[in-house]
Chain A
């Protein structure tokens, strides 16, 4: 079954495949830790994908492209923040609106950019390290975003666990009433968290259109944003488990693509639906039984806060 698939290449491409969902999921984790359920990850990702693509093509610089992608995602998330934090709208419905609007707007913006190749994103030069057998390919042969995404996980973990700001953010997510009573600006903290989540999702989207695919087509993210949401549940809101989850899904994606290319006996359709089916399976395993992921969910998740006094 694995005949002809090089394990080093498989692990290397697994790490690349997992970057978009990893970035989006770690952003969403922070948002959910602040007690906000933003279901618009898919919309923010695809806005990031199109904005990043356009910026990169126009300026010719992938780095600016990634910045543009993050800005696109954050810009759309600002709409979500406005709706849920100022207008007190339902978070589930607002998130869906974000996705529907993002899908439409992105295909509108990307119209003139179909079939163009974006500038190439280079590999971080590690010099002789890249020549080490196996590890050179697996660890030292990637573009900057791969390392950035892992660093982001470490940074979010450290922030939530060891920084005062992280403690406040978690307090807002666990009990907004108590945080408010202590004098913390619940709304401001949540808006900042939403913007961070939007920027990370946008960055992940830009990675899809600039590195993973790399070109622009409508609906390019193909549900990656929803898988990112599922990974947050899978990770029971713990940063390092997000990394694990993203690599797991990256592995499945890469493996099924390799199997499709290698022409295994399994029909292509079954392979291409496998990431979604496995997401469902993982959700079932994580949500049921004694190790219930829901027990670890932030207590104020999805509830709006309106300071009566």
Chain B
């Protein structure tokens, strides 16, 4: 029990970010028209590609002799980039078509 409290105290700023971000996410999306559901889902999909930052750190930290870490990290960076780049490009393509209609 003691350690759990210590952990919370140690990470309290992160925990604040989590709590506030949860409410922010709800507020930001709250009144979105159904027309935009698909692009929004796709845009959010691209944003969680931030996980790529973790992949870059893993890759950059790996010792040059540790092949498992190098290979897995390499794969992780590729997958993360796919998520980010693919996600943003697909979203842009969808939204581009909405714009043309003016």
B is bound to A: no
